[in-house]
Amino acid sequence: MLRHRELLKFAVVGGATFVVDNAVFYGLKLTVLEPKPVTAKIIAVLVATIVSYVLNREWSFRLRGGRERRHEAGLFFLVSGIGLVLSSAPLWISRYVFRLEVPDVSVAAQEIADFVSAQLVGTLIAMVFRFWALRKWVFPNEKTHPVGVRPAAVPRYHGRRTLPVAKRKPRRSGVRQGQR
């Protein structure tokens, strides 16, 4: 159940950062970075990555980890850097390999190709990679241990891993505490 809860929270964070990514991407692409859509995409992903770290650390994977924050943040941004390349690559291929840009195609075809390649294909590829990598390396389950290191033995009491609760004497029915 924990795995599905994390996946659901990760998806909600992903939805929120998808909105941030789209807003920044199109805000830049349709204004100051019109001739440089890949640059606009990279900036958008960087902004969305910062939002993603905060939301994933504090909500999606808050029960995981145990690493020093600086180390964890470094790993998160390394994984996100790889995700940035994965999410920008389809747009770069669409524009510069397939030449799906004006004047080779219409403005409508260019915008549809940009949306599909950057916002759908690129985001999907990066999302799958990030979920796997964040769970494996950035926010690992605290119950996993490095190779060769085993946790100290935990004593078992009657099949349980906790100390037994002291048993109380049963109360006699019909007799009050002070009337013996």
Concatenate the DSSP letters of all residues of 43-96 into one string: HHHHHHHHHHHHHIIIIITTTS--S-HHHHHHHHHHHHHHHHHHHHHHHHIIII
pTM of the model: 0.65
pLDDT tens, residue by residue, 103-112: 999 999 999 9
Binning pLDDT at 50, 70 and 90, where does residue 165 land?
Answer: low
pLDDT tens, residue by residue, 38-80: 899 889 989 998 999 999 888 888 887 667 888 988 999 999 9
Return the exposure string of 92-121: e unless at least 16 CB atoms fall within 10 Å of the residue's CB, then b.
Answer: bebbeeeebbeeeeeeeebbebbbebbbeb
pLDDT above 70 for 159: no
